Amino acid sequence: MNRVILNYLVSGFLKKFFIVVGVFYCFGLILNLLEEVEFFKNLNVSMLIPLVLTSIYIPSLLIKILPFIIFISSLWFMLSIKHNKDLLSIKIFGYSNIKIFFILAISAFLIGWTVLIIINPITSKMSKYYEQIKSNYSRDIDHLINFKRDGLWIKEKIDNKHRFIFSKKLDENYLEDLTIIHLDNESNLKEKILAEKANISKNEWVLYNVKILKSDNDVFKEIEFENLNINSIYNLKKINNLFKNFDTMSFVELVFNYNNLIEAGYNKNFLNQSLHSLLILPFFLLLMTGLASILALNNLSKKNNLKMVFIGLIIVIIIYYFKDFSLALGQIEKVPLILSIWSPIIALSLFALIGVIQINEK
């Protein structure tokens, strides 16, 4: 009988979870499709492209709001078994409120790890594809920047010439082992610049230990400089901002390639924020299930269901604001970044612990 009740609780919870996911997916599909249509309205593309892009964008969005989805699913399921008196029947067979909570909380915790290990790598690739397709249709394709395994690549158009920049490593304010190629409008090589490093803290880059190969009637002349200044549309801040799209980097990639990403020039704070923001997901889901349990199982009255839902939504909104506020404090270095990410989890854990103890006495 215990196994039957366990299967009932888990399967019922998962059914509600997938229904809520489906509703949010459809809702997000409609809203984002309008944005994609607006983006492509002046371009000669079929309606299929905005629809495909919207379809691959929404899954990463659902992961961001997964704690909210879990809360709604948990609260809906527990209110439903309370309403149809299944909760009383389950208690007759020895299942206390806290035992029901642990079953649902562990299910939510496992959903979180499943998302991180299996779903998130897929959605991150989908997000990369989404970004690539959107950049191909961007009006500003004369200026592109990309991090690859071999280093940083930049393309920009300045003073009627095309510039291609390659650097093996970004280290704090400096691009190291730099190669810059200038082409004319007919793609003819005009000059090649080699530099040991470049300070890119401002738009006026300072290059050090520079060697320039200039083309003169197909003959290249070599010129050397100790320092050389060049202007670029990019600086360190702009480059870092371009790579703050957390959706394109999966949890698995961050865990196994963390050191390689640091060596490739990714900002350490950005990587830490990405890693820990994903790592808290299973714990966040567990605690949101706890919050739903506290609201739903606090009493057996059916009259307070609407009130409980309203209070729950208000609390969730407050939690999300507190989470964003705490992260902002970490980003401006008022508190340690990792602590700012985990602070909402710690605070919510204390609240949930007290609440779960109370519902166990009901």
Query: Is 10 in the same domain as 110?
Result: yes
| 203 φ/ψ angles, rounded to the nearest 5 degrees | -70, -20
Does any domain span residue 155?
yes
Instruction: Check whether residue 10 and residue 97 sit in a common domain.
Output: yes
Question: Does 323 reside within a domain?
Answer: yes
Residue 61 in any domain: the answer is yes
Is the pLDDT at 139 greater than 50? The verdict is: no
Q: In terms of residue numbers, what domain contains 20?
A: 2-138+251-360
Considering the domain architecture, whether residues 153 and 122 belong to the same structural domain is answered as no
Examine residue 302 and state whether it is found in any structural domain, yes or no. yes
State which of 178, 198, 232 marks the end of a domain: 232
Shared domain check, 149 and 216: yes
Note whether 325 and 178 are same-domain residues.
Answer: no
275 and 134 belong to one structural domain: yes
Kindly list the distances between the CA atom of residue 308 and the CA atoms of 221, 287, 301, 305, in Å, as whole numbers in the listed order: 78, 17, 11, 5
Give CA torsion, residues 72, 74, 77, 78, to 10 deg: -120
Residues 27 and 165 in one domain: no
pLDDT, tens only, 241-272 = 655 556 777 888 888 888 877 776 666 777 88
Residues 337 and 256 in one domain: yes
Tens of pLDDT, residue by residue over 170-197, are 777 788 888 888 887 777 777 888 888 8
Confidence of residue 20 (pLDDT cuts 50, 70, 90): very high
Give the tokens for residue 170: 């970004």
The reply to whether 12 and 124 lie within a common domain is yes
Residue pair 258/249 in contact (Cβ under 8 Å)? The answer is no
Clarify whether residues 61 and 184 are in a common domain: no
The whole-model pTM stands at: 0.75
In the chain, where does DSSP find H-type helix?
2-40, 48-64, 66-83, 86-92, 97-114, 120-136, 236-242, 251-256, 258-264, 268-279, 281-297, 305-331, 337-360
> Mind listing the pLDDT tens digit for each residue in 292-341?
888 887 765 656 667 777 888 888 888 888 888 888 888 777 888 899 99
As to burial, measured by CB atoms within 10 angstroms (0-12 exposed, 13-18 middle, 19+ buried), residue 214 is middle
Average pLDDT over residues 140-155: 64
Q: Say how many domains are in the chain.
A: 2
Contact 152, 166 (CB under 8 A): yes
